Amino acid sequence: MKNKVVIITGASSGIGKALAFEYGNKGAQVVITGRNEAKLEEAKAELVAANITCQAIVCDSSSEEQTRAMVAQVVQEFGRIDILINNAGISMRSMFENVDLKVLKQLMDINFWGTVYATHAALPYIKESKGGIIGISSIAGYRGLPVRTGYSASKFAMNGFLEALRTELLETGVHVLTACPGFTASNIRNASLNSEGKITGDTMRDEEKMMSAEEVAARIYTAFEQKKKTLVLTFQGKLTVFLNKWLNGLMDRLVYNTLKKEKDSPLK
């Protein structure tokens, strides 16, 4: 990784920031992006304090214009792009019948289109360096989750896009990894949207019992180095993907009952 240039979207906290430390500690020059300038600068300060070469660029992943400008700035400053990690994402929790459809559009704009915009802008440079693209998807990209219809739809779309792209790039030397963490201790639930598109500011799960963002980042780094095509994390995640393929009727009931136990769940 020495002197390789790695862009990580949505990296002011959680898995994104953990990935910045993981790649930075391996010698990469890290570019982190996010919408909140204050949080982004805090993350940059932490990385620089750890002797990691880091640049922070304010960028809304749902904006094609801002994303292309971000990629152009990285190329101008560093002269290359080796790895793009599409991590920016938000979640939601609402019954579909009650949700304002702008919430689903917002999730698609950030989770799916954000991945498309960044990948399209960076791909020529990644092909030149024979680098790679990593998409931080979710188990929800394999198994639809109730009260998270928009999140599941965005991650299914992301998985399909990355799989198609991986196949297109088969003869180019560019490696594509789709990483699907299970429930991970991060702020994604605190920042999830309700039916009206407002941030809930509270988690509905026990964060201490989940895999840490740092462990997720380490697993993703190793999987990419091993040229794996997909990475499904946690025993629960692997079991969910397997059972959903063969016993999806049973999984409907199991997933329903599991998410019904969440704090203040709208499922009855």
Cα torsion angle, 65, 67, 72, 73, sign: positive
AA identity, residue 241 = V
AA identity, residue 147 = V
Q: Please, how many CA atoms are within 13 Å of residue 257, restricted to the half-sphere of its CB?
A: 6
Q: Please, how many CA atoms are within 13 Å of residue 176, restricted to the half-sphere of its CB?
A: 21
By C-alpha distance, which of 217, 222, 218 is closest to 16? Answer: 217
Query: Is 151 a residue of the active site?
Result: yes
**Cα angle 99-103-109, degrees, rounded to a multiple of 5:** 150
Query: Of 125, 151, 221, 256, which one is the catalytic site residue?
Result: 151
User: Residue 41 and residue 56: Cα distance in Å, rounded?
Assistant: 7
- Tokens 């922070």 label which residue? 56
* Residues with catalytic function: 151
